[in-house]
Structure 1
């Protein structure tokens, strides 16, 4: 009987050996979640590879400032000098906002060299001068804002920009004469042009101050 069982066992072993292809090697386990070999398979670059392959960005992007006070200041600076802090024009006007040296002295700046090498000082001078002009023109702002003079609707920002161009006294004359007493600078730029070009900005941030000085 034992011999019979042994023969049956050998026979079963032989059948199993043939059915498995004469090999007992362990099959390679394949993950059900592997994407290797498929189109979805991709290489994730390292940080160094990304930095090496990324071109330098040279485009310039301009921030939209709208009709804010900063928008007013930057628009005026661009018109005066294209926003260049280092420029001195042929008539000796200085910096981004093209200041006369006597105007700078009025707001407490006495060194042209220091002024030309300090952007923060130039911005402070603009703020102080604009505050002075707003104080000088405070009654005219109340009286004429909303009116139309020379075909231009008068706004506070337009008045302040015109004062930067021509001085507060000349703006008073222009408004009170209904535009009859005009002014143009050496390049032919007029008060009426500045009233129109810089109209509608929010200049409520500027506080009128008769004795405004630079504090840097």
Structure 2
């Protein structure tokens, strides 16, 4: 009997201690004293960026897996060109995330290479403008060759646009119209064939053909 009473007393004291500690902890936390007011908060993505239709495909939801979406296309090209580095300048003087030459930049209205290199948003616009211009130049070849196989590779619009980014639309025309015999290679040995194969099957319907496309 004495042991039972002692057990009850011990249990009661334990409950009281737990309750006291719990209430004491609650009393020491005053959330009203915590605020982000006045702090300089840094975000890697601005709230307005996701609304910028120059950067993303219309109505497309961002996910870590980009697949064959338009965003997947441009980021895959960027990774191949520079590993996605906006500040990259290669040994041949090509600039930025997508490795533009200065003459190509002039075609889409950009004349200040230094400003271009320091402006990621402008680089994204340049990619869209250049792709739009190339799509207009290659519109007949896209119509005539998409769905065919050249050198064993299925010709797709995204493959054509990627190859045009690498080699220029003129070189892509020669490749297609020679059925792969005229296969341009850049200074690193990368060919039109390589880009036609590597970037096949992406959704590039977001790109609209525009003869006078400008980034500025």
Alignment partner, residue 157 of structure 1 = 158
Aligned to 2:168: 167
**Larger Cα Rg: Structure 1 or Structure 2?**
1
Matched residue, 2:83: 82
Q: Which residue matches 2:145? A: 144
SS in 2 for 1:210: coil
* Structure 1 CA distance for aligned equivalents of residues 96 and 125 of structure 2: 12
The CA deviation string for residues 147-201 of structure 1, in whole angstroms up to 9 with x for no partner, is 0001111000000000001100110111011111110000000000100000000
Distance 1:131 1:110 in 2: 19
Structure 2, unmatched stretches of 5+, are 1-8, 19-24, 32-62
CA separation in 1, counterparts of 2:86 and 2:183?
29
Q: Please report how far the alpha carbon of residue 36 of structure 1 lies from its aligned counterpart in structure 2 after TM superposition.
A: 8.2
Q: 1:79-134 CA deviation, whole Å, 9 max, x = no partner?
A: 00000000111111001111000100110111011001000011011100000000
SS at match of 2:190: coil
Cα distance, 1:114–1:47 mapped onto 2, change above 3 Å: farther
Normalised by the length of structure 1, the TM-score is 0.72
- Cα 1:36/1:181, change in 2 over 3 Å: same
Distance 1:203 1:28, change over 3 A: same
> 2:133 maps to what in 1?
132
Give the aligned partner of residue 207 of structure 1: 208
The 1:85/1:176 distance shift into structure 2, 3 A limit, reads same
Unaligned runs of 5+ in 1: 1-26, 38-43, 49-61
Write the distance in 1 (CA, Å) between the matches of 2:30 and 2:166.
53
Residue 35 (structure 1) shift: 11
Structure 1 residues 63, 180: closer, same or farther in 2, change over 3 A? same
User: What is the rounded CA distance, in whole Å, between the counterparts of 1:154 and 1:117 in structure 2?
Assistant: 35
**Structure 1 residues 176 and 86: alpha-carbon distance in aligned structure 2, compared to 1, 3 A threshold:** same
Q: Structure 2 matches for 1:1-216, cutoff 5 A?
A: 63-215=64-216
Distance of 1:164 and 1:178 partners within structure 2: 19
